[in-house]
Structure 1
Amino acid sequence: MNLNAPAFSSFSHDGLKLAYFDEGDPSGDPVLLIHGFASSALVNWVHPGWLKTLGDAGYRVIAIDNRGHGASDKPLDPEAYRPWVMAEDSIALLDHLRIPEAHLFGYSMGARISVFATLAHPHRVRSLVLGGLGIGMTDGVGDWDPIADALLAPSLDHVTHARGKTFRAFADQTKSDREALAACIRGSRDLVSRADMGRIEAPTLIGVGTKDDIAGSPQELAALMPHAIALDIPGRDHMLAVGDRVFRKAVLDFYAELSAREQLL
């Protein structure tokens, strides 16, 4: 057992039992972390150091295991994984914890979920951090059907598609439910229109690794939004950017600047 793992709780929403942790300073500003595809709250936020980083800085750190992932229930219908459906899980967690407004921080698929949550519930979102997804949010990130096929292959040895091999190996490493992940990848790829990105008023930081071949340009996405800034995470690919020190410092600086600005108002 990982002694550094936080205690998980669960709540019910949309007929599913969903796992989460709620750590850090209970009186601190809440940050809701929404992980990426084939990951989990532990893999995406605890192991790379985000829980410690944000907790040490005085924040209340909350993270959900998205449906189909981690310790949450795992439906097999792709329609259960539409990003606006998954976004409601995160808002329901805020309701469950009686939190009226939070910083939302999503990585990759979690960034997409965070945007859908913000569009549907703008008054619940104090700020956005979008990691691992740039202009791919609006323009797409390529053909992901081979990833679904790779997840359902008899073994990693049967997978020849390069990106499929990467995600199959990751799913095997995290002991994920591969059938649920295949349903998720088929259901969660809806794009956000450029016009909708332009409607997001929340202050936003968009961080993408300079070697990320999935996300697309953070600068192009930031240019669509009224209050967004882009961050290049040097020398990192899609899998490694999430825990990078440059990214962690930029997020802390972003939150500190927001707080200072709000105190002036």
Structure 2
Amino acid sequence: MASFLSDGVQIAYDDITPPGGADRTIVLIHGFASNRVEGWKRTGWYAAFERRRTRVIALDQRGHGESAKLYEPQAYERERLAADVLNLMDELGVERADMFGYSMGTRTALELAVAQPSRLTHLILGGVGGKLLEKAPDVAGEPMADAMLAEDPSTISQPMLRSFRQFADEQGEDLKALAAVTRVRNMPFNHDALRDMPVPTLVVAGAGDEGAGDPEALARIFPHGHGKTIPGCDHFSAIPHALTKAAVFDFVDGLMDEDEFPPFE
């Protein structure tokens, strides 16, 4: 396992250059309760990028996989997660790269893109949509944290929460650390900052991903945004899907027509 210290926190990562060298580099940022192996390698992304002569850099976000487990919510503030990615790029001497975040990883990627747009060539936001721009609904208690810490997962009544707990158990994740991740209180993204973000951006989500909303509704806020809906997929099944890969590759290859969205309000 390769790892480095990001502000004193051990971060595990893969850095894979295909035989014969790479023509471009992409940084992959997994979602909540996942890790670099489950989120990207097992789903075929490592092999797909290797075939396209792309250097793959994928990290386990803090609290996940083989990276350090921390139990205070403030350790998982979005700025700290983005700093881990930027520090890894600096550690590996990567000045600019494509970046692909999925689910929680989109928020990390978007935070970095807003703060340091010159470090990105393309930005891909997966598993999110228009609901990212909406005010988070008021929820009583801490249902996701409670789901992570439930002694008996069969007692979790909400299907979405039960799915995430099952997924975390399957990966052998640290449930206490994941509960801390869910308790962090990040500020909403500044809409003006997103409107001014110069990096070409693809937003892609499954048609059945009710938690994401419409990808085009999010894509239209970006000056160079594209939205893509993957039919027949939910939040979990969209990431390994061949149509998701096709959309990502068309985007980074410049083969997508420029979307013409009405002005965002």
TM (norm. structure 2) is 0.91
1:147-167 superposed Cα distances (whole Å, 9 cap, x missing partner): 111101112122222221111
Counterpart amino acid of 1:254? F
Q: How far apart in 1 are the matches of 2:108 and 2:135?
A: 14
- SS at 1:38 equivalent: coil
What's the CA shift for 1:136? Answer: 2.5
| Correspondence for 2:6 among 8, 13, 23 | 13
Pick aligned residue for 1:208 from 205, 210, 230 = 205
Partner of residue 179, structure 1: 176
Q: After the TM superposition, which residues 136-215 of structure 1 pair with which residues of structure 2 at under 5 Å, given as runs?
A: 136-140=131-135, 142=137, 143=139, 145-187=142-184, 189-215=186-212
**How far apart are the structure 2 equivalents of 1:190 and 1:155?**
32
The answer on whether the counterparts of 1:130 and 1:206 sit within 8 Å (CA) in structure 2 is yes
Which residue of structure 2 lines up, in the alignment, with residue 29 of structure 1?
Answer: 24
Deviation at 1:189, TM superposition (A): 5.0
Query: Quick check: 1:97 aligned with 2:62?
Result: no
Distance in 2 between the 1:192 and 1:138 partners?
8
TM-score, with length taken from structure 1: 0.91
1:140 Cα deviation from its structure 2 partner? 4.9
User: How far off is 1:135 after superposition?
Assistant: 1.8
Between 1:131-140 and 1:165-174, the stretch displaced more is: 131-140
Which residue among 99, 120, 133 is the counterpart of 1:125?
120
The correspondence for 1:220, drawn from 186, 196, 217, is 217
Q: CA deviation at 1:141?
A: 5.8
Where do 1:249-260 residues align within 5 Å? 249-257=246-254
- Contact 1:31–1:60, Cα closer than 8 Å, also in 2: yes
Matched, 1:69 2:64: yes
Cross-structure match for 1:5: none
Letter of the 1:198 partner, please give it.
R
CA deviation profile, 1:152-191 (whole Å, cap 9, x unmatched): 1112122222221111111111110000001011116542
Structure 2 Cα separation of the partners of residues 10 and 94 of structure 1: 13
Task: Output the CA distance in 2 between the equivalents of 1:186 and 1:163.
Answer: 17
User: What corresponds to 2:259 in structure 1?
Assistant: none
Q: Which residue of 2 aligns with 1:49?
A: 44
Supply the distance in 1 between the matched residues of 2:166 and 2:90 (Cα, whole angstroms): 35
Which residue identity is paired with 1:15?
Answer: G
Higher-helix-fraction structure: 1
Unmatched 5+ stretches in structure 2: 256-265
Any idea what the Cα deviations from partners look like across 1:63-118, whole Å, max 9, x if unmatched?
01000000000111101111111001000000000000010100011011100001
Distance (Å, rounded) in 2 between the aligned partners of 1:209 and 1:78 = 29
**What secondary structure is seen at the aligned counterpart in 2 of 1:62?**
strand
- Residue 229 of structure 1 is matched in structure 2 by 226
Instruction: Extract unaligned runs of 5+ from structure 1.
Output: 1-7, 259-265
* 1:238 and 2:245 aligned: no
How many Å separate the matches in 2 of 1:188 and 1:13?
21
Identity of aligned residues (%): 37
SS at match of 1:241: coil
Q: Which amino acid counterpart does residue 12 of structure 1 have in structure 2?
A: L
State the shift of 1:253 in Å. Answer: 1.2
Of the three residues 15, 24, 34, the one matched with 1:39 is 34
Amino acid at match of 1:180: A
C-alpha displacement at 1:122, in angstroms?
1.0
In 1, Cα distance between equivalents of 2:102 and 2:186: 14
| AA at the equivalent of 1:128 | L
Alpha-carbon distance between aligned partners in 2 of 1:165 and 1:189, rounded to the nearest angstrom: 24
